[in-house]
Amino acid sequence: MRHKTVYRCNECGADAPKWMGWCPACEASGSLVEEVLLPAGTSIAPSVPIPIAEAIGDATEPVPTGDPELDRVLGGGLVPGSVTVVGGEPGVGKSTLLLQALASVARGATCLYVTAEESARQVALRAERLGVSAPSLWLVAETSLPRIVAHLDALAPAVVVVDSIQTVFDPDLGTAPGTVGQVRGCAQRLVGEAKARGVSVVLVGHVTKDGSLAGPRVLEHLVDTVLAFEGDRHHALRMLRAVKHRFGSTHELGLFEMGEAGLVGVPDPSALFLADRQPGVPGSVVAPVLDGWRPLLVEVQALVVPSTAPTPRRTAQGLDGGRLAQVLAVLERHAGLDVGRAEVHVAVTGGVRVGEPGADLAVALAVASSATGRPVPADLVMCGEVGLGGELRQVQRTERRLSEAARLGFRRALVPRSAPDAPAGLRLDRATSIGEALRHLAFFAQPVAS
Ligand code: TYD
Ligand code: MG
C-alpha cells in the first residue's frame, strides 16, 4: 500500500503539501522534511466521559523528588502520570540533574533511567562519580520505544527518565529517526503510557542555540510541564525554570552549582553572588532583582574609562545592551552625566542575567559612581525602573526585594518615591528622578575628563 506523504517543518511542526525551501508557517529555511503519514484513526482509544467531580477527586498530589531546588520549581515534586520535559543546551547538565534526582526518588520507589544517548556504562560511571546509587534505581540503554514500554511493563517504575526524546525511535511510526514526526510520535506514546500507568515520565530534550526545543516546539503542547535548564558556559551556576507547568506556578527559580560532585543546590543565592564583592570600590552597586518570584541580590558593576575612539565601546554582560544604552541616554539628558566620550562596561556578576527593569537604577548609579570615582555606601541597595523622562518608577514586588536585602544585612535602600514601607532593619531613601538619586548620593554629576 502506498502511504501518503507530507512535508513537515522540523522547527515548528507545520505541514506543507510539497517541498519548499522554507516553511510556509514559520519561514525557517530548509526545515521541511518528508514524512510518511500513517492511516488515520487506527491507534486512538475511545474516550469515555466522566463526571467532573470524579476527575477532581483523581487529581493527584505531587510526589517530592527529594531535590529541594527541583521540587521548588515543580511546586512540590512530580505528579504521578505526568510528563515533564527538561530542555537545555548540550552540556548544561541535564543528564546529571536527572540522574541525581532519580537516585533520590529511588530511595523510596522503583525508578528507571533509560539512556538513549550514552552507553549504560557511561551512565553508571557518572553515577559512581556522583556517589549516587540506590537498589531500586534501574538503568537500561535503549533507543527503541516499544522496548522501553516493555521495560515499563516489567519494572512498573514510579518514575522513568528518557534521555533523550530526540534519540528514541518508534519503528511503527514509519518515519526516519530524528525527525519531528518521530519525536512527536514517541512523546505522544509516552504521554499515553504515563496517563495509563500513573508513571511520571521525564524526558530530556535538547535545545538549539535560539532556545527552542530542537526540532519540535510541538513537544511543549503535548506534555504537562516544560523545564528549561540554563547556565553560562563560564560559570558554575545553573538555573532551572518552568516554562510551562500544568500543576503550578512558572515563577519559581531553581539554582544549582555544577562542581566536582555534580549539581549542588544553592539555597542562598544572594550570599553566593555577593561573596566576592569588594565594598568601597567605585562602580559597584548591589541590586535586589527578581527572577520569577525569587529575589536575588546581585552586584552590578560599571567601568567608565575615557576614550578617543569616534564611537567608544559599550559592553553589557548579564543585561540587555539596549537597556544600558537607554539608561546612559537618560543619565546624559536628565542628570547631566555625559559619558558619550567614554567607554562604558557594565556587568552583572556571577553569571546571572537580569531581564527586568528593576536593575535600571543600579546600572545608572554604578555608571555614575565609576564616572565620578565616588563609591556607593557598602550597606546600600537600590532598585527601580528608570523612565525615559528621568523619572524613577516602582518595580513589581519591591517589598520582597527589600526583605531579601534586609535579611542579608543591608541597612539602607534607595527606591522610587512610591515604593512601599521598608521592612524592619532597612532605612529607605526615596527619590523621584534620576537626578535626585544622583544628588542623594552626593554625586556631583560631571562630564568625564577625556
Ligand atoms: P551532562 O549532564 O552530561 O549534560 P547534558 O546531559 O545536558 O548534555 O553534563 C555536562 C557537563 O557537566 C560536562 O561537560 C561535565 C560537567 N560535569 C561536572 O562538571 N561535574 C560533574 O560531576 C558532572 C557529572 C558533570
Ligand atoms: Mg546528557
> Residue-wise pLDDT tens for the chain (450 aa)?
456 777 888 778 888 888 888 888 888 887 787 776 655 545 556 788 888 777 665 567 899 999 999 999 999 999 999 999 999 988 999 999 999 999 999 999 999 999 999 999 999 999 999 999 889 999 999 999 999 999 999 999 999 999 999 999 999 888 887 788 888 899 999 999 999 999 999 999 988 766 666 554 678 889 999 999 988 777 888 999 998 999 988 888 899 999 988 999 998 888 877 888 888 899 999 999 998 878 889 999 999 999 999 999 999 999 999 999 999 999 999 999 989 999 999 999 877 889 899 999 999 999 999 999 999 988 999 999 999 999 999 999 999 999 989 988 899 999 999 999 988 899 999 999 999 999 877 653 333 343
Cα of 94 vs centre of ligand 2, distance in Å, is 6
Between CA 143 and CA 154 the distance in angstroms is 17
Cα of 87 vs centre of ligand 2, distance in Å, is 11
Give me the phi and psi of 435, to 5 degrees please.
-60, -45
Between CA 140 and CA 143 the distance in angstroms is 10
Three cell numbers, residue 330: 537618560
Q: Which burial class, exposed, middle or buried, applies to 41 when counting CB atoms under 10 A from its CB (0-12, 13-18, 19+)?
A: exposed
**Virtual CA dihedral for 143, 144, 150, 154, nearest 10 degrees?**
-20
| pTM of the predicted model as reported, rounded to 2 decimal places | 0.78
Residues with CB under 6 A from ligand 1: 88, 90-96, 126, 130, 258, 260-262
Q: Report which protein residue has its CA nearest ligand 1's atom 4.
A: 93
Mutate to test the pocket of ligand 1, among 85, 92, 94, 96 (most ligand atoms within 8 A of CB): 96
**What is the residue type of 358?**
G
